[in-house]
Amino acid sequence: MSKALSFYEGEISKYEEKIKNINGVITKISTLRLIIAIMAVLLAYYFYKGESIAYLISSIVISVGIFIVVAYYHNKRIQEKREYEIYININRNGINRIKGTFKEREDKGEEFLSDEHPFASDLDVFGRNSLFQMINSTKTKFGRAKLSQMLNLNAIPGREEILKKQEAINELGKKVEWRQHLEVKSTIKKSGTKDINELLEWANGKSEIKPLFKIVPYLFIAITMISIVLVVLKVLPISYVILVFMINYLVVKILTKDLVQIIKLFDKHKKDIEAYTNLLILIENENFDSVRLKELKNKMNSSGKSCVEEMKALKKLVDWLGDSSSNAYYLLLNVTVLSDTFILRNLEEWRRLNGHKLEAWLNVMGEFEALSSISNLSFDFDEWSYPTISNLDVVEGINIGHPMLGERAVVNSFTLNHDSKVALITGSNMSGKSTFLRTIGLNLLLSYIGAPTCSNGFTCGVFSIYTCMRTKDNLEESISSFYAEILRIKILIEAAKNGEKVFFLLDEIFKGTNSKDRHEGAQVLINQLVNNNAMGLVSTHDLELCDLEKTKKWIKNYNFQEYYEKNNIKFDYKLREGRSKTQNAVHLMKLAGIEFNDN
C-alpha cells in the first residue's frame, strides 16, 4: 500500500470515529435543550400562578440565557461534525485519484472546454474523466479560474518559472494536512453560486465620502445626548427624546439611502468574505520555503498593510450590516448614535484604502488553491518523477504512463530528439495508439505546470502543444469533420511558421479522404512541420507512411500489437520499435456479424 493511500484511509477512520463520538454529544445536547425549554415553561407558569412577577421575569431571562449558551455550543458541535464530514470526503477523493476512479466527481470544469483550444479537448484536460476532474480541490471562483488558466497554458512558461512551480508544488505536496485544512475552510463558509463579480465591482468603484457625513452625524449625536441629559434632569419631557429619536431615524435614512443596496450586496456575500478571510489567515500564518510561495505571500502585504487585518475589518463591518437589518437592539443604537452613517462611512473608507487591492488578494488566494490542487499529484504518487526541463528540443521518458488511468496504466519508454523529430505510431484498432499520444501530451502538460510526471524519469524542452485528434462535425457552422480537421491543421502550421516551438500530436490525420490523398497529404504535412522546427507524434493506419523512415533520418517508426487467445483479441499496450505487422479490422468485423467468404 502506498504512503498516500495509507494516509487517506487512516484519516477516514479517524474522522469516522470523531463523528461517532460527536453524534453522541449532539444527541445529549439536543435532549438538554428540550429539558431547558420545558423547565423554562414550567417555571414561568409556576411564578405566573404565584403572581411573583420579579421571579417570573428573572426565570425567563435566566432560562433564555442558558438556552442561548447551550444552543451556541450545540451549533458549534454540528459545525464541527460537518467539518469532519468534509475531511472524509476530501480523503475519499484522494483514494479515487490514486485508483483512477474519480470520474463520478461532480465538478468536471466543463465550462472551460473549447474546441478552439490547441490541445485541451483532445487531451481530456476538462470534462468527464479529465485531468481537472482528477486533481481539482479548489472551492472558490478564483481558485478554479487560476487552475483552468494553468491547465490551459494560457501563457507558455519559461524554464525558470517551471522550476519555481516544481519547488512550490513539491513543498505543498508535503503539507497535506494544511492543504486539507485550506479546502475545508473554503468549503464550510462558501455561499454557493452567487456572482462574486458584483462584490469586485463595488470594491473597484469610486469611493466618495460626502461632506455631510463629516458634520451632520456628530451634530445630531450631540443634540441627542443633550436631550437625554435634560430629560434625566427633568428639564424636558420624555416625549422630546422620542421626537429626537424619530428625527434621527429620518436623518439616518436620508444620509444612507444607498445603504439598502449595500446591505443586500453584503448579505449575499457575507459567507464568501468570511471564507476568503479564513483562507487568507491560513496562508498568512503558514511558513513557506519555496521562492514562488514566498513571492505570492508577499503580494498579500505589498503595501505594508496586512491584507488579513484589512479583511477582518471588512468582515466586522459586514457583521454590523447584518445586525442593522435584523436586530432590535441595533435599531435603538441607530437612532441614538446614528450608527448606520458610520458604517457606511467606514465602508467607503475601507473601499478607498483597499478596494483596488481586493481582487489581487483573492487572486493570490486562488493561486494557492490551484497550486494545492496540482500538488495532490505530488503527494498521491510519490513514485512519479519531477521532469528535467531542458533547453534542447527533446522529449524523453522512462516508463511513461497515462496519468489518469491509475492502476490500469501500462508504461512505455520513449525518446524524440534532434536525431528523431517525428515518431510514426502504427498498430491495429484499439491497440493503444491514441492513448499513447495522450500519455505524451499530458505528461508534457504536467511538466509545464510544475507537477511530477507519470514516469520513472522525464526530460523535455519547452514547447507549444498542438493536437488534432477528435475533430467532429459542426452542423451550425456547416463544417464537416474533415474540414474541421483541416482548420486545426491550419492553426498548427501557422504556429510553426510564426516561430513557435511546436510539439504536435496527430491522430489518424486526413481520415476523411481517400487513401492516396491521405498518404500524400500526411507526407507533405510532416515534411513542412519538420522544416519549421516542429516535433511530434503521428498515429496512422497508413503503413506506406512508414517508408519515410528510409529517406528521412528524423522519422522513427513505432507500433502497438494485438494477440489472440481462444479467438479472443487481446492487447498488451506495449510500444515496440518498427512498423506494425498485424491488423484486426477483419476480425472485429466478424465479431460484429459480418460474414466473409473466399469468393
DSSP H or E segment with residue 576:
strand 576-577
Phi and psi at 568, nearest 5°, equal -105, 135
Locate 114 and state its grid cell.
Answer: 473549447
Nearest to 98 by CA among 6, 186, 191, 170: 6
Contact 68, 374 (CB under 8 A): no
Contact 358, 429 (CB under 8 A): no
Nearest to 151 by CA among 101, 109, 93: 109
Query: Within a 10 A sphere around the Cβ of 548, how many other Cβ atoms?
Result: 17
pLDDT at residue 276 greater than cutoff 70 = yes
Mean pLDDT of 417-429: 87
Mean pLDDT of 196-206: 84
SS3 state of residue 504: strand
Nearest to 558 by CA among 572, 539, 582, 583: 539
pLDDT the model gives residue 338? 66
Contact 532, 496 (CB under 8 A): yes
Mean pLDDT of 240-269: 73
pLDDT at residue 534 greater than cutoff 80 = yes
pLDDT at residue 207 greater than cutoff 70 = no
SS3 state of residue 308: helix
pLDDT the model gives residue 258? 66
| Angle of helix 328-337 versus helix 339-380 axis, rounded to 10 | 130
DSSP H or E segment with residue 517:
helix 515-531
Nearest to 201 by CA among 307, 313, 351: 351
d(CA 163, CA 37): 62
pLDDT the model gives residue 556? 92
pLDDT tens sequence across 122-162: 999 999 999 999 999 999 989 999 999 999 998 889 999 99
Nearest to 533 by CA among 566, 504, 491, 563: 504
SS3 state of residue 353: helix
Categorise residue 566: left if φ over 0, alpha if ψ from -120 to 50, beta otherwise: left
pLDDT tens sequence across 3-39: 999 999 999 999 999 999 999 999 999 999 899 889 8
d(CA 533, CA 155): 20
pTM over 0.75: yes
pLDDT at residue 228 greater than cutoff 80 = no
DSSP H or E segment with residue 350:
helix 339-380
pLDDT the model gives residue 471? 64
Contact 377, 135 (CB under 8 A): yes
In one-letter notation, the amino acid at residue 504 is F
Q: Give 503's DSSP letter.
A: E
Position with higher pLDDT, 47 vs 6: 6
Q: Which residues of 427-449 are buried (b: 16+ CB within 10 A; e: fewer)?
A: bbeebbbbbbbbbbbbbbbbbbb
Greatest mean pLDDT among 260-264, 466-470, 480-484 lies in: 466-470
d(CA 134, CA 121): 15
d(CA 142, CA 372): 13
Contact 204, 362 (CB under 8 A): no
Nearest to 250 by CA among 349, 340, 318: 340
3-state helix, strand, coil in the chain (%, to 5): 60, 10, 30
Residue 97 CB burial class (10 angstroms; 0-12, 13-18, ≥19): buried
Mean pLDDT, the chain, integer: 84
d(CA 132, CA 103): 10
d(CA 503, CA 440): 10
Position with higher pLDDT, 399 vs 427: 399
d(CA 255, CA 194): 29
d(CA 109, CA 132): 6
Locate 76 and state its grid cell.
Answer: 458549534
SS3 state of residue 349: helix
d(CA 428, CA 558): 12
pLDDT at residue 173 greater than cutoff 70 = yes
Contact 439, 479 (CB under 8 A): no
d(CA 335, CA 246): 7
Mean pLDDT of 581-596: 60
d(CA 190, CA 188): 6
β 457-460/395-400 pair status: antiparallel
pLDDT the model gives residue 475? 41
